[in-house]
Amino acid sequence: MGRRNKLLEPVDGIPMVLRAVDAALAGVDAGVYVVTGHERDAVVAALAGRDVRLVHNPRYAEGLS
């Protein structure tokens, strides 16, 4: 893809995806799902130790529509 993955960009030293997941975990009693696509391994590594369910979308490059 060539561009940096914004989910992995740090905000005050913490990847944005981790901030979003921590907020979701703090706000719900049900499970949290994270759908991965581009740079799946790096996103999964950033979420190490978090109680989330991971789902990979192999067709992420096609968009959401």
- pLDDT tens figures, 25-34: 999 888 999 9
Residue 14 has a pLDDT of 96
Would you kindly state where each structural domain of the chain is located, as residue ranges? 6-62
The SS3 of residue 62 is: helix
* Residue 37 confidence class, pLDDT cut points 50, 70, 90: very high
Predicted TM-score of the model (pTM): 0.83
Residue 1 has a pLDDT of 45
Residue 64 has a pLDDT of 74
The SS3 of residue 60 is: helix
Residue 63 has a pLDDT of 83
